Amino acid sequence: MKINPAFVISILFLLLSISSQAQWKLVWSDEFDRDGKPNASNWKAEKGFVRNHEFQWFQEDNAYCKNGMLIIEARKEEVKNPNYVAGSKNWKEERPTAHYTSASMITQGLQHFQYGRFEMKAKIDTRSGMWPAFWTLGNKGEWPENGEIDIMEYYRGTILANAVWGSMEKWKGIWSTVKKPVSEFNDPEWSSKFHIWRMDWDEKSIRLYVDDLLMNSIDLEKTYNAKDPHKNPFRQPHYILVGMAVGGDNGGDPSKTEFPARYEIDYVRVYQK
């Protein structure tokens, strides 16, 4: 009997794939299958003006679960800034109002993990001014010495897969960044579909994917903090953040975008070997 080599190779790849999947055990997930507020044992909401000179005021009301999804909704609405100080040069204090609201939900102090496969299925809003993200921060240390991993970040027409750690300068990181314009996916319907973002992270490397396409691979022997070369921020537990910013340092101009804007998350899961 003649054996087709291509058939044998395809079977071997299938077996390898099954074996790889069998290594992973689900250790935590949120399927968002209960309507109402996000599960308080998993998530808490960031509040106010938080980072990156963003336009939105983060508030709890803009995140809710409905029909098996976590919906993070950015709205164009006026909200008073209770921290306003007339004449202040601090970006968090100088604006009497915010013109947009949104939500950022984080697992800090509730759920954290060191190593594993982190996975999210979601549909993101890719219109002008939108800045959705799925990312992690290390439990210990000041940014960026605590380490940041951007499993998914989007702004200005581009998907990003990043990691950042400490340099010799305060609040200035060393970045490993890979960018891919959405237009390069050659799918005019890409932005209207759900996609799977994944991180495979162990003591040796971080690998970031979208729909099984490897975006970025980071060697953890190269990510020790410059100020303290004995500390590697990616060899400690990290917590998870999901949120959508508006404008700010990178988000772009939202002035011609019709609101509300939605970031819809089907699930967030963490597997470990």
- The per-residue b/e assignment along 116-128, b for 16 or more CB within 10 angstroms, e otherwise, is bbbbbbbbbbbeb
Does residue 12 fall inside a structural domain? no
Does residue 33 fall inside a structural domain? yes
What is d(CA 135, CA 143) in angstroms, rounded to the nearest whole number?
14
In the prediction, which pLDDT does 69 show? Answer: 98
pTM, 2 dp: 0.91
pLDDT band per the 50, 70, 90 thresholds, residue 232: very high
Domain that holds residue 189: 25-272
What is d(CA 176, CA 161) in angstroms, rounded to the nearest whole number?
8
What is d(CA 59, CA 248) in angstroms, rounded to the nearest whole number?
17
Does residue 20 fall inside a structural domain? no
Is the CB of residue 234 less than 8 Å from the CB of residue 225? no
In the prediction, which pLDDT does 4 show? Answer: 67
Does residue 115 fall inside a structural domain? yes
Contacts of residues 7-12 at CB distance under 8 Å and 24 or more positions apart, as own/partner, are none
- The stretch 240-264 carries a mean pLDDT of 98
Does residue 6 fall inside a structural domain? no
pLDDT digits (tens, 9 = 90+) for 49-87: 999 999 999 999 999 999 999 999 999 999 999 999 999
Q: Give me the residue label for tokens 């960031």.
A: 46
Does residue 17 fall inside a structural domain? no
Q: Total domain count for the chain?
A: 1
Q: What's the chain's length in residues?
A: 273
pLDDT digits (tens, 9 = 90+) for 134-167: 999 999 999 999 999 999 999 999 999 999 999 9
Other Cβ atoms within 10 Å of 79 Cβ, number: 15
In the prediction, which pLDDT does 7 show? Answer: 62
Cβ-Cβ contacts under 8 Å for 245 (sequence gap 6 or more):
52, 54, 55, 56, 102, 104, 131, 132, 133, 251
What is d(CA 9, CA 237) in angstroms, rounded to the nearest whole number?
38
In the prediction, which pLDDT does 102 show? Answer: 98
Kindly state the tokens that stand for 82.
């209770």
Does residue 202 fall inside a structural domain? yes
What is d(CA 78, CA 91) in angstroms, rounded to the nearest whole number?
17
What is d(CA 126, CA 190) in angstroms, rounded to the nearest whole number?
10
Question: Using H for helix, E for strand and C for coil, what is the string for 167-180?
Answer: CCCCCCEEEEEEEE
How much of the chain, in percent, has pLDDT values that exceed 70?
92
* CATH code (residue 58): 2.60.120.200
Average pLDDT, the chain: 94
Does residue 222 fall inside a structural domain? yes
Cis peptide upstream of residue 82 (ω within 30 degrees of 0): no
Q: Is 52 left (phi over 0), alpha (psi -120 to 50) or beta?
A: left
